[in-house]
């Protein structure tokens, strides 16, 4: 494991990729992507369908192995870490399709995330009711995402938007430094979108967020910095105004440049 010397500039970035590339049997899904995520910001990754956003996420969280390149997190090379150890380093992701434990209750979902931190993951000789000690902490997290009245419901019974909220509460239980959200508002009604956007802003207060998002209103509202991907390459980077005025970006989205 390599530890790089910190220059002033590097310390600002919590996550960097250097020449990150991924090929699937000759098809280049990600080509030489250099991503720099500044600490404490909400960074959006946007781009047309098939641009490779989710692939980047899977590479960052080690659910996929890169073909070339490196991933640096807080000055440390994590390119060869496993998916679960990434999470323990403080990078926790959500998935494109809401990912909960369906036949656990809402509270149990959050408790599962808390168990490891409290050293209650290996106790096979203790009664499960000892987990009730985590209830207060779990309920506080559920309160934060507005699920306090559903604690005893099975997760499978929640509406889609609430499942997403539960997913965020579960992620927050690990208190990650860097949260990766894969299309947090996808497939949601208008009201839910607003609620999740508020929630993201709230939880971003003391952490860094990298998100893939299609809803440009949400992107415009929330993000400090935007990277636009197209066909696996970085097309443009900057603030929302810079990026949205960029003729190349407009062409990628609209098919023609008009501006």
Q: Is 182 in the site for another protein (CB under 8 A)?
A: no
Q: How many CB atoms lie within 10 A of CB 232?
A: 23
Q: Is 175 in the site for another protein (CB under 8 A)?
A: no
H/E stretch holding 92: strand 91-93
Q: Is 126 in the site for another protein (CB under 8 A)?
A: yes
Burial class (CB within 10 angstroms; exposed 0-12, middle 13-18, buried 19+) of 12? middle
- Residue 218's nearest CA partner among 236, 240, 247, 233 is 240
The least CB distance from residue 175 to another protein, in Å, is 11
The residue within the footprint of another protein, chosen from 19, 50, 102, 187 (CB under 8 A), is 102
Q: How many residues does the chain have?
A: 259
Task: Please state at what angle helix 135-144 crosses helix 106-117, rounded to 10 degrees.
Answer: 120
- Please identify, among the stretches 10-18, 43-51, 101-109, 204-212, the one whose residues bind another protein according to the rule CB under 8 A: 101-109
The least CB distance from residue 34 to another protein, in Å, is 25
- Please identify, among the stretches 37-45, 70-78, 169-177, 224-232, the one whose residues bind another protein according to the rule CB under 8 A: 169-177
Q: Is 85 in the site for another protein (CB under 8 A)?
A: yes
The least CB distance from residue 155 to another protein, in Å, is 9
Q: Is 34 in the site for another protein (CB under 8 A)?
A: no
The least CB distance from residue 172 to another protein, in Å, is 11
- The b/e string for 74-93 (b: 16+ C-beta within 10 A; e otherwise) is bbeebbebeeeebbeebbbb
The residue within the footprint of another protein, chosen from 108, 177, 183, 213 (CB under 8 A), is 108
Task: Please state at what angle helix 190-203 crosses helix 160-172, rounded to 10 degrees.
Answer: 10
The least CB distance from residue 243 to another protein, in Å, is 29
The residue within the footprint of another protein, chosen from 20, 46, 131, 209 (CB under 8 A), is 131
The least CB distance from residue 94 to another protein, in Å, is 8
Q: At 159, is the secondary structure helix, strand, or coil?
A: coil
Ordered alpha helix ranges (H), the chain: 8-12, 53-60, 83-89, 106-117, 135-144, 160-172, 190-203, 216-222, 240-245, 247-254
Q: Is 106 in the site for another protein (CB under 8 A)?
A: no
**37-66 residues near another protein, rule: CB under 8 A:** 61, 63
- Residue 237's nearest CA partner among 12, 83, 34 is 34
Q: Is 174 in the site for another protein (CB under 8 A)?
A: yes
Q: Is 112 in the site for another protein (CB under 8 A)?
A: yes
Q: Can you tell me the distance from the alpha carbon of 14 to that of 204, in angstroms, rounded to the nearest whole number?
A: 14
Positions in the binding site for another protein (CB under 8 A): 61, 63, 82-85, 87-88, 92-93, 95, 99-104, 108, 111-113, 115-116, 120-131, 170-171, 174
């Amino acid at each position: 494991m390599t530890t790089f010397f910190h220059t002033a500039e590097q310390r600002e970035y919590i996550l960097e990729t250097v020449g990150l590339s991924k090929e699937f049997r000759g098809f280049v899904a990600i080509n030489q992507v250099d991503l720099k995520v500044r600490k404490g910001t909400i960074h959006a990754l946007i781009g047309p369908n098939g641009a490779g956003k989710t692939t980047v996420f899977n590479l960052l969280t080690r659910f996929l192995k890169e073909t070339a390149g490196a991933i640096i997190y807080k000055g440390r090379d994590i390119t060869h870490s496993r998916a679960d150890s990434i999470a323990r380093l403080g990078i926790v992701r959500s998935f494109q399709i809401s990912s909960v434990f369906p036949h656990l209750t809402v509270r149990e979902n959050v408790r599962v995330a808390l168990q490891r931190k409290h050293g209650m993951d290996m106790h096979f000789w203790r009664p499960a009711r000892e987990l009730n000690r985590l209830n207060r902490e779990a309920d506080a997290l559920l309160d934060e995402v507005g699920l306090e009245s559903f604690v005893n419901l099975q997760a499978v019974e929640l509406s889609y938007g609430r499942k997403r909220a539960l997913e965020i509460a579960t992620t927050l239980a690990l208190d990650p430094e860097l949260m990766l959200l894969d299309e947090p508002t996808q497939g949601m009604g208008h009201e839910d979108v607003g609620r999740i956007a508020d929630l993201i802003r709230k939880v971003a207060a003391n952490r860094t967020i990298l998100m893939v998002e299609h809803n440009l209103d949400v992107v415009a509202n929330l993000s400090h910095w935007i990277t636009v991907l197209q066909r696996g390459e970085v097309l443009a980077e900057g603030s929302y105004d810079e990026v949205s005025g960029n003729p190349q970006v407009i062409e990628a989205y609209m098919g023609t440049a008009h501006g």
